[in-house]
Structure 1
């Protein structure tokens, strides 16, 4: 049974329409073609759809006879992001123990281990006190690959506090040039690049940096994100930081209230502290 056939069977068992099964992760049109075997589904979107409907991932993969190593890595990454958002240090430690079981190359495992180290340090508030050898290792890992993939971008995004203004600026400048037409890049890359830009803006504010040359270019990039539900956060954060730099306290408060009123108190609390 193919993944598309398994999705169709599972959807019918749940009594869902194609729109109910896939939205807001995929459009009905695209999802329909996956069920019919015309398009493939990437690992991240598959995991999100399965989790959205509380479908056991292992059972689903067994049903369609698929053992895709990317699923393990994608699922692990999703769990790490969720644990960090939930401020769940114990879950991060559990995920650290799973790294040896992820079937990927040693370089990628090293990237994942570094993500764990930085996430634990961020949750403990101790990232500034990491040993210099760890900081150097993280930086060297990021630049080891000629072409940055999702793992490199993810690691860079959470490692920003390790870099000086002088180190970060050329990297961010390079990313702004590469992703100038960001709306044409895959959804996952849009999310990762916008996350880097949002984290960079946050760091500029927290460090009271005067190096604000790239701020307007970052706002333009975030403006150009494709109009998709998963890009909403990047666009909202663009409005938040633009309001901050313009001194618009009412708009800042409106955005903080929006997060609070929609049960996203942790985001609101983090933003209040950051400014």
Structure 2
């Protein structure tokens, strides 16, 4: 609900016409009509004058606006998540446009930008614009490390995210999930997959000195069937970086038989 919609609600409760609503203020009837219909904004000083003229409590009014905006943001958050998982590019773009209208939703706006960029494979083109926002967001708010949606977005964009920013994020995740056995199986899979993607980035950037701690993480994942692929991928990158051709050939042979689609995207296949 916008300010205009709340004004309309207040006006109807007072049983006033639009002309009577603005009587005694500097707001014209035509301007007010457009405010109620969301066509034009209202200046703060005019809003205060209007509320005062109609004896409407400003704090109650603000609470109504804020509560409705929070409900709208919750709904938009759900829609953004659905758009990302479908995936539905058009829905994501529509939701992003609506989220951009809120002045108190920086985190959600950044998330929406990331979702649209990932779905349109446009993150590389937009990363310079996003980078400063992302750095501020990730440094200020550590809750992203507990958010499955944000982790999935980060995991899907590792190969096209700013390398220095990505290195910072990966190190934070490594500290957060160091004792990975304490976390759920879904979390173990999710973090394992993120680090597998990151190892590919490290290979592309020839950053061999940074790989061992992530390989070590994958190797210490529980030895259960659900995580076999994650552990095998850890062995693959270990053999790749150490140039153990015999071990690499054996692992690739297993991967080609078990999950041939994964092999297609590997550095050496």
Same fold (TM over 0.5): yes
What CA distance in whole angstroms lies between the structure 2 residues aligned with 1:266 and 1:140? 37
Rg bigger for which structure?
A: 2
- Report the equivalent of 1:193: 191
- Report the equivalent of 1:265: 260
Q: Deviations over 1:120-158 (max 9, x none)?
A: 32xxxx643335213444444444533222223223323
Please provide the CA RMSD for this pair.
Answer: 3.6
- Report the equivalent of 2:181: 183
How far apart are residue 113 of structure 1 and its match? 4.7
What CA distance in whole angstroms lies between the structure 2 residues aligned with 1:99 and 1:227? 41
How far apart are residue 168 of structure 1 and its match? 3.7
Contact 2:92 2:116 in 1 (8 A): yes
1:256 is the counterpart of 2:255: no
What CA distance in whole angstroms lies between the structure 2 residues aligned with 1:216 and 1:95? 40
TM-score, length-normalised on structure 2? 0.55
Q: Pick closer, same or farther for the CA change 1:75–1:255 going to 2, 3 Å.
A: farther
What CA distance in whole angstroms lies between the structure 1 residues aligned with 2:80 and 2:223? 27
Instruction: State the aligned residue count.
Output: 187
Q: Pick closer, same or farther for the CA change 1:147–1:246 going to 2, 3 Å.
A: same
Q: Deviations over 1:69-109 (max 9, x none)?
A: 899777665544xxxxxxxxxxx536636857xxxx96457
Tell which has more relative contact order, 1 or 2 (C-alpha 8 A, sep 6+).
1
TM-score, length-normalised on structure 1? 0.54
- Report the equivalent of 1:247: 243
Structure 1, unmatched stretches of 5+, are 1-68, 81-91
1:219 is the counterpart of 2:215: yes
How far apart are residue 208 of structure 1 and its match? 1.8
